[in-house]
Amino acid sequence: MELFFMRHAEAESRDLYPDDRQRPLTERGRQQQERVVSALVPLLQPLHYLLSSPLRRARQTADIVTTVVHGSPAVEETSVLAGDYTLGTVLDLLQRYPRDARILCVGHEPHMSKLSAVFLDGEGRSTIAFQAGAVLGLTFSGPPTPGRGTLRFFLRPADALLLPGVMG
């Protein structure tokens, strides 16, 4: 299985939105993420499943993926990538998918960092700082298991925009 974890793009200030679930992406965040996802197309395709937190900013980020990555699957919203996050709920969710699946999960901090660290070192001791819009790719020789992930890449938005073929 291949897993990709993506933090939602830059969002509006919490001060402007009393209900954090409704906080949208900024226009700058939306535009930057479109360029970031365009740069990542060769790394993401083929994409079999696209899971997203139901929070507005994460769903908007997932929608950017469906627009930019041709042949993307429909977005599946799951609270497991938001408030219902635990390692157990994530493992249960991922067990539903085929062992050879390529899955992109769009979510939030600190969940993206914690999940990535657990899959890499088994206990979550690694420090991975997911900036808004960052993406990490992991591979597994079987189902996702703590400590069994192999890091393929970790790209902050600025890093992704330096990939060959990306235009400013």
pLDDT digits (tens, 9 = 90+) for 73-102: 999 999 999 977 899 999 999 999 999 999
Which fold does the domain 2-160 belong to in CATH?
Rossmann fold (3.40.50)
Q: 15 exposed, middle or buried (CB, 10 Å; 0-12, 13-18, 19+)? A: exposed
- 40 pLDDT higher than 60: yes
Residue 168 has what pLDDT?
A: 53
Q: What is the mean pLDDT of residues 119-139?
A: 95
Separation between Cα atoms, residue 134 and residue 111, nearest integer Å = 13
| pLDDT at residue 135 greater than cutoff 70 | yes
Residue 102: name the closest of 42, 36, 41, 44 by CA: 44
- Res 106 pLDDT > 90: yes
Q: What is the pTM of this model?
A: 0.95
Per-domain residue ranges of the chain: 2-160
Identify which of 113, 117, 150 has the alpha carbon closest to the alpha carbon of residue 129.
113
